[in-house]
Structure 1
């Protein structure tokens, strides 16, 4: 429902550890971001909900036609709101090829 009412440029994030069985359904209905996952930290907001194995998540996303990519913690369209120092850091990090700027 969120995708039906929100503009296309608004990302919809679905934490995979809170939606284990429904991650593909959420993606098929417009979610385009699975948030942060970490093999070395817990989910501090929901500590009882462990992260899935990265390979499981990669497989599930591939089934839906997506891939798991690292991204910076700020979407490109919001970089202009960062102070000069933070924008400089973001620009340095964007030079690293592992950080995707595409939506998929």
Structure 2
């Protein structure tokens, strides 16, 4: 069995607000830690039948980038949901909502 490890490193200020976030993976071509401004991690707990989440962003994450991050996350969640379930109709609805979201948030593709 192959195993890969994904590591997230969060540097906090004195008030526990993220100042710096980096991630690295044992399976990545580049073994250096990669700096990021935000991440969303969702895990399904099979025993309790619920989702555990961690959403973090650095205090210097620009709002316009956060809007785009949410837009792209919603888009890719639709892609993942389609691959996992084959539910094309609801994914089309989600894509329609994403277009609406992008328009309301004034995000250009």
User: TM-score band, normalised by the shorter chain?
Assistant: 0.3 to 0.5
Name the structure where helix makes up a greater proportion of residues.
Answer: 1
Name the structure where strand makes up a greater proportion of residues.
Answer: 2
Structure 2 length normalisation: TM-score? 0.36
Structure 1 length normalisation: TM-score? 0.37
> With CA pairs under 8 Å and 6+ residues apart, which has the higher RCO, 1 or 2?
1
Larger Rg: 2
